[in-house]
A and B are shown apart, each in its own frame.
Chain A
């Protein structure tokens, strides 16, 4: 008798699973009201659950206003790219989704995203409402963008004020000062610096930023990879040397596959400095560190280098081309990029505004807000807006993961090793471009 009950239960569960799987693609609609759209949100808060808590009231408000229901799924950064690829490949995906803005050109090339032509742009409130540099990350120059900015982000150098005072050092304005300060702060089990050295996206960003400080680019005008320039090799070497020769980074950081892990070390006072985007504020505060206990300065370039402190980071919103609820999706994008929603979400997610004329409200610390606004507006360089950009992140980022592992496990990485690894990455990218 019990066996039969178990079997019946198992069958019921299987049927329910299948049914749930099928219902995902349902829904149709001429008028947006009454329809349901699926929204994939990236992880912006302190955890996936936190994101759900933050977004649910905002989405309920949207439903109340328009009658469109929103099915929310929050996806972590480690899975987001794969999930998007699967959606693009299979044609089964959400109606609206968040993408890392650096992927915009790559995803545009797949043709799976809806271009925001003039009609669509008008439906979401016109392109003039966005900050120009932010909107430019939406796709390749000269084509209708396939994504619009949602949250603005930039990297900054966070430092612990009390630890700096105790060690008698000033916030660095050059790379050389940064290394000196970090060395003075590395003692008694604390480290000067923490890096997400096992995160390929973070590593790729800093390969780009450090190379940009040397005036080097990873792609030429035609979108062909130029990974092996001296500027790129030196920039990456400088970054790796924080762990390798300067020894101001705990080798255990090589296993940090997620920026939040470095942020947590910082908030707990284990390290004096981190490089993070402004959304770190929510995690730092959640760990009990007060806003006035830390300061932020632009990530410094070496003496004589270019003042590039960040890439133009951020999250964009896209609509899948095959959505059956185009009107509802456009309505939703308009709502998410409206002034009200932006200011509601700006604080919990600690983001910079992407709307023209809006002010950063993510922190009560006016100095920090001004610093990030300055970095975002004047010291950020966009990652190359070419279709192969995502492969740059994958291949170069992973090569840097490997090099950090090698250093952490006692090996050494020389300039020629870096050049060889970059050559290898470039060959892979070229091959997949069909070259």
Chain B
């Protein structure tokens, strides 16, 4: 129950003011080193060291591997793998070849998947956050309930979906066809084209509570008076949402959409747990595709090249997004 009480506490927004005061304190003078000048560096060092070990080194290794022909013949002794330059990239980008064509198809599926999942998750999260903005009896209960998918261990949640989506024994088909008596044959959900919709639904189920949580936190910082004043001016709820809520949530939305986009585009766990080894063509998301390309065929050079291409794509999208957002906010 501790979650509900802390969620009800509006002082959670006090964090922002704390940060503002910290930023306004005067920076230390440069020439004379103050006593204990090394302390911040010492405190930062572990973070930097681990960042290098956990992020930077593996990333550089990945880029290095993408120029090697690292197949199973060299896997026990990496250093012996021959250098092949851009060959792995050429194969991955040759959309007339089998490997490139599959990669392109997987990329297209992932784009569709991301747009749907991020769009619907954000809408659901926004709707729920606004609905639970006003105090009413049982609000704490609903807030907790909505966060359940986010709190559940990912593996357990997706495995439960996997059982529910079975053709003959699953709860979904049982509900639709045995209880609601829809006509026709029970469809497959985890193979064939339906697999795409299954994975979209499961991914939304997992992601929307995060949007809800962030937007709910953002709504706490909008003062009640603004709504009251607009009500006096005769604004209806939708107008209030469009003219007050949305603009004031802008900083939250900027970050939220970017983070959700990156997570969803890179989603590996959902298809991996949901489909296992029997991965259908329609649910072939790009992270999963790259994993298969490197692990099932033992061709790590090719897989690394695809990963680097994915990294470049995501960097470009993120860069453009931030540029556009920043330019707009400067104009505003």
Contact = CB atoms under 8 A, between A and B. Distances in A.
Judge: A and B partners, yes or no: yes
Interface of A: 78, 82, 85, 88-89, 91, 106, 109-112, 198-200, 252, 254-255, 257, 321, 387, 390-391, 394-395, 398, 401-402, 405-406, 408-409, 411, 423-425, 427-429, 431-434
A77 to B, nearest CB: 9
B300 to A, nearest CB: 8
Interface string B181-208: 0000001101111100000000000000
B297 A432 contact: yes
B223 interface: no
Given A111-B76, A409-B191, A257 B71 contact: no
Contacts of B40: none
A80 to B, nearest CB: 11
A139 to B, nearest CB: 14
A85 B278 contact: no
Closest 9 CB pairs of A and B: A409-B192, A427-B98, A405-B191, A432-B299, A432-B297, A112-B76, A111-B76, A198-B278, A257-B278
Contacts of B76: 88, 91, 110-112, 321
A88 B277 contact: no
Given A427-B98, A432-B302, 11 more contacts: A110-B72, A199-B278, A200-B277, A200-B278, A387-B72, A387-B73, A391-B297, A402-B281, A409-B188, A409-B193, A432-B298
Given A82-B295, A85-B295, A401-B278, A432 B71 contact: yes
A85 B71 CA distance: 12
What is the interface of chain B mostly: helix, strand, loop, or mixed? Answer: loop
Contacts of A321: 76
B40 to A, nearest CB: 26
B69 interface: yes
Contacts of B99: 427-428, 431
B97 interface: yes
Given A200-B277, A432-B299, A255 B75 contact: no
Contact of A431 (B75, B279, B302): B302
18 contacts: A78-B277, A85-B298, A89-B300, A106-B72, A110-B73, A200-B277, A255-B188, A255-B190, A391-B297, A398-B279, A402-B280, A405-B188, A408-B191, A411-B192, A425-B98, A428-B297, A432-B302, A434-B69
A199 B75 CA distance: 27
Interface residues of B, number: 35
B61 interface: no
Interface in B156-193: 166-168, 187-188, 190-193
B252 interface: no
B69 A431 contact: no
B9 interface: no
Nearest to A112: B76
Contacts of B276: 78, 257
Contacts of A85: 295, 298
Interface in B93-116: 97-99, 102
Contacts of B97: 427, 431
Contact of A254 (B72, B188, B277): B188
B91 interface: yes
Contacts of A405: 188, 191-192, 280
Contact of A112 (B71, B75, B188, B281): B75
A431 to B, nearest CB: 5
Contacts, number: 100
What is the interface of chain A mostly: helix, strand, loop, or mixed? Answer: helix
A428 B101 CA distance: 11
A394 B297 contact: yes
Given A255-B166, A409-B193, A433 B71 contact: yes
Residue from A200, A427, A429 having most chain B Cβ neighbours under 10 A:
A427
Given A85-B298, A431-B302, A255 B191 contact: yes
Interface string B294-332: 011111101000000000000000000000000000000
Given A252-B168, A257-B278, A109 B73 contact: yes
B183 to A, nearest CB: 16
B77 interface: yes
Contacts of A91: 76
A82 B297 CA distance: 11
A423 B99 CA distance: 12
Nearest to B101: A424
A229 B299 CA distance: 26
Nearest to A256: B278
Contact of B75 (A88, A395, A423, A433): A88
Contacts of A424: 98, 102
Contacts of B279: 398
Nearest to A423: B98
Interface in B189-246: 190-194
Contacts of A112: 75-76
A89 B98 CA distance: 26
A387 B74 CA distance: 13
B39 to A, nearest CB: 25
A329 B300 CA distance: 30
Interface in B109-143: none
Nearest to A85: B295
A244 to B, nearest CB: 14
B153 to A, nearest CB: 15
A110 B74 CA distance: 6
A434 B302 CA distance: 10
Interface in B50-71: 69, 71
A428 B98 CA distance: 6
A409 B297 contact: no
Contact of B191 (A89, A110, A254): A254
A409 B194 contact: yes
Contact of B77 (A111, A401, A411, A425): A111
A110 B277 contact: no
A106 B280 CA distance: 26
A408 B193 CA distance: 11
